[in-house]
Structure 1
């Protein structure tokens, strides 16, 4: 059995890197959506949501960097062009969103997509005995499940 520089099976590391690149593409689209919500939000809750969306995109930017660096750690290259992100991502661009409730609905949809992908990666990482990727995915899932609860509570759901 062939292993990479951190002792993981090379085939498993390749599958994980592929899944992480998919996750990276989705994070990039979610990030751009959140930036757009931050810039374009209007209405009575502007001040509150403007700050909340900035917190969201700042957190997403950190996660984008962590995912890309994890791909490098596994011995692979993170994708790094928007044409690749758009082709790979299941999260779609959301444009011209000005209503806060609509933006939060999109955020909840995007979190649902990310959490599903991260659960699949968590299972794959556990199977590959890749504690680094598993821990990262576990942390993201925990944080995002709480965020889903909070955004849903804001909507009164």
Structure 2
């Protein structure tokens, strides 16, 4: 085999469907990275009476999100496409708006609920495509991400309850 020859991918999913799935996963990666940055930013900048609890909770959340970023990006690569990896690409693909300034602790919780739910919606929107393509590894990632994002949104919402 020649060194410069690209091997075809033959995993049982045609190129057209692999490309569509990779594009969808790229949006999930962008939302996940934007959520990661938001959570890490809030970890650094949270203040107030809930500081210790929120500071530690945000660290747990961004640590989990960091691991997920790698899983999503590696799935895109396994499908045969480059994963987005720049702020510019992420800002174009993400459905989450970046937050400017330093919001209050309560506002941070609300922003994170919205970002967690947006990321869950992005993951959920891909199920029909991955199921039609018989792409169980991508479906598994989506299921894991939905479980995490929905549970985290619930926990964050619960912290804002009276």
TM-score, shorter chain, exceeding 0.5: yes
Q: CA deviation at 1:110?
A: 0.5
Number of the residue aligned with 2:121: 116
- Give the equivalent residue in structure 2 for 1:26: 31
Alpha-carbon offset, residue 145 of structure 1: 1.5
CA deviation profile, 1:30-81 (whole Å, cap 9, x unmatched): 1111111000101000010000111111111111111000000111110111
Q: Following the alignment from structure 1 to structure 2, what is the Cα–Cα distance between the partners of residues 142 and 50? A: 22
- TM-score, with structure 2 as normaliser: 0.90
State the Cα deviation string for residues 68-114 of structure 1 (Å, max 9, x = none). Answer: 00000111110111111112212111132242111110111011111
1:67 aligns with 2:67: no
- Match for residue 139 of structure 2? 134
Runs (4 or more) in structure 1 with deviation over 4 Å come to none
- Counterpart of 1:43 in structure 2 is 48
Report whether the alignment pairs 1:56 with 2:33: no
2:85 maps to which residue?
A: 80
Give TM-score scaled by structure 1 length: 0.93
Give the unaligned 5+ runs of structure 1: none
Which 5+ residue runs of structure 2 have no aligned equivalent? 1-7
